[in-house]
Amino acid sequence: MTRVLPAGYSPLPFNPALGLPQQVQVTAGGRALTVSLVAMTADLVATLTMEPTALVVEGAQEEARRPTSAADARAALAAPPPESLTTAAVRPYVVVVDAGRVIGSAPVVVGRPMPFGTSASSSLLLEVLFLDLRLAAGSLVQPGDVGSRVLAGVWLPAADSPVRIRQPEHPEGDPYDLLD
């Protein structure tokens, strides 16, 4: 299935064959920003010893909610390590930098727009949207075409557009009911 960026989004030219981390330059509001895609791994040895084409991040799994910690923490400490690296062990992040200063970072969630530069004193600088993210183990180790895919876009507000701060809706009822 071919995915297309929504209207108003410009593609971010991440090249999966170059490996991670990667940086893309974007100009927003007259400021030169750097949008970086990085991936953190919880098991470096497993990352280095995996087959380069083994999939470690699948966009559909990034859309799903992550499991919570084990019911018994003592059992989790004594449990053997997983047989293979999973998306729970590799976490992709997007980081936005303005003149050497990090203005925001967030875990990549495929399909969810991620605003950067919003605060009580500043307006929205840009919004990053990932539509597809598949990372193979080789992408985390060295450059090469190992079957990874990245489709991301950036939305830049016009100079005269109103600030569009997106905040999640507050849930109804008792917030403690939402805890697992």
Averaged pLDDT, 125-137? 92
Which residue would you say has higher pLDDT here, 147 or 45?
A: 147
* Residue 139 CB contacts under 8 Å (≥ 6 apart), including other chains: 16, 19, 20, 39, 146, 148
Is 174 contained in some domain? no
Cross-strand bridge partners of residue 107: 93
pLDDT confidence of 106, banded at 50, 70, 90? very high
- Report yes or no on 53 lying in a domain: yes
Q: Is 81 contained in some domain? A: yes
Residue 121 has pLDDT above 80, yes or no: no
CA dihedral 114, 117, 122, 125 (to 10 degrees): -80
**pLDDT of 1-17, one tens digit each?**
568 999 999 999 999 99
Question: What single string gives the DSSP state of each residue in 103-153?
Answer: EEEEE--TT--EEES-SSSS---EEEEEEEEEEEHHHHHS-S-SS-EEEEE
In-domain check, residue 47: yes
Question: Taking the chain, what is the end-to-end CA distance rounded to the nearest angstrom?
Answer: 34
Whether 57 is in a domain gets the answer yes
Q: What's the CA gap between 28 and 32, in Å, rounded?
A: 7
pLDDT of 120 > 70? The answer is no
pLDDT tens per residue, range 28-77: 878 899 999 999 887 778 788 888 998 888 876 555 554 544 556 677 67
Asked whether residue 129 is assigned to any structural domain, the reply reads yes
User: How far apart, in Å, are the Cα atoms of 93 and each of 113, 157, 172?
Assistant: 13, 22, 30
Residue 60 belongs to some domain of the structure: yes
Q: Which helix (H) or strand (E) holds 6?
A: none
- Is the pTM higher than 0.75? The answer reads no
Q: Which domain holds residue 113?
A: 9-65+77-158
pLDDT of residue 155: 93
Domain count, the chain: 1
**Whether pLDDT at 105 is above 90:** yes
- Does a structural domain hold residue 128? yes
Determine the pLDDT at residue 61.
58
Backbone angles phi, psi at 27, to 5 degrees: -105, 125
